[in-house]
Amino acid sequence: KPQLVASNERFCRFLEEYCPVVTETYYPTIWCWEGRVQTLLRPFITSRPQVQYRNELIATADGGQISLDWFDNNDSLYYPDASTRPTVLLLPGLTGTSKESYILHMIHQSETLGYRCVVFNNRGIAGEDLLTPRTYCAANTEDLEAVIHHIHSLHSSAPFVAAGVSMGGMLLLNYLGKTGRDTPLMAAAIFSAGWNVFESIESLEKPLNWLLFNYYLTTCLQSSISRHRQMLEKLFDMDLVMKARTIREFDKQFTSVMFGYRTIDDYYEDASPCHKLKSVGIPVLCLNSVDDVFSPGHAIPVESAKQNANVALVLTSCGGHIGFLEGIWPRKCTYMDRVFKQFVQAVFEHGNKIVSM
CA atoms of 332 and 341, how far apart (whole Å)? 14
In this structure, are residues 321 and 39 in contact, taking their beta carbons and an 8 Å threshold? yes
CA atoms of 251 and 289, how far apart (whole Å)? 25
User: Does residue 223 carry a catalytic annotation?
Assistant: no
Contacts 24+ apart (CB under 8 A), 261-270: 265/198, 267/137, 267/139, 268/197, 268/198, 268/201, 269/197, 269/198, 270/139
DSSP state of 4: E
User: Does residue 295 carry a catalytic annotation?
Assistant: no
User: Does residue 275 carry a catalytic annotation?
Assistant: no
Reduce the DSSP state of residue 55 to 3 states and report it.
strand
Q: Which of 110, 166, 192, 256 is catalytic?
A: 166
Reduce the DSSP state of residue 166 to 3 states and report it.
coil
Q: Which of 69, 143, 251, 292 is catalytic?
A: 292
CA atoms of 24 and 13, how far apart (whole Å)? 14
- Of 171, 120, 124, which Cα lies nearest the Cα of 150? 120
CA atoms of 227 and 225, how far apart (whole Å)? 5
CA atoms of 95 and 99, how far apart (whole Å)? 11
CA atoms of 31 and 317, how far apart (whole Å)? 16
DSSP state of 203: H
DSSP tally for the chain: helices H, then strands E: 15, 9
CA atoms of 321 and 345, how far apart (whole Å)? 24
- Of 162, 167, 165, which Cα lies nearest the Cα of 138? 167
* Angle between helices 264-271 and 197-204 in degrees, nearest 10: 110
Q: Which of 251, 295, 321, 337 is catalytic?
A: 321
Active site (catalytic) residues: 166, 292, 321
